[in-house]
Structure 1
Amino acid sequence: MLIMTSKSQTKPQTPEQLARLEKQRLAKIEGAQALAQVDKEYVDVRRNMERLKALRLAKEAHDAANPPPVEPKKKKAAPKKLAVVKAPEPEAVGE
């Protein structure tokens, strides 16, 4: 004889099972919040990168339009030569 059971008849859950299900539910909620926070930080970083890029491009355009004045290069002074001091020749003994 084949007995069919319906899924509507479920066993009562133990307190451990209920605690595990609650822990999983909270982890799912916290995970979703963490992902939302990471997404927000990603958007903030991208927005800041775009702002900095715009500032850099504006500075480069300004520098290209207004090049700094070129100062003539100064000639380097020749290094000072040290005076060569010769020692007096020793006199020959017996001359």
Structure 2
Amino acid sequence: MGRGREPVTPASLEMLGPKLLSRLPLPSKDRPMAHIGVAAFHRCFAGWRGLADWIAANDDFRTAVTASHDGLLCDDPMAFVRQVCTLPAATRLKRPAQSA
């Protein structure tokens, strides 16, 4: 049996998720929306059950994806993971403006 990728641990996912979100600068007058790529999900998380758990617990990420792709947000976290993983790697997610 060939050597596969190391499994992603919950701890590493918890560290990566906030890092991805932290790359989204807050909206400003000159930059109303910030963007983040989906490629990381293709490389690291396709089909991984822990990602569904992480997404289910992180409303900010779900909101960012939904704001970028109308109707993408799904109640079933695994279906949501499948939807995110089928997006082209070049897809950019937009963080919605935050209320004051």
Q: TM-score range by the shorter chain?
A: under 0.3
Q: TM-score, normalised by structure 2?
A: 0.22
Q: TM-score, normalised by structure 1?
A: 0.23
Higher relative contact order (CA 8 A, sep 6+): 2
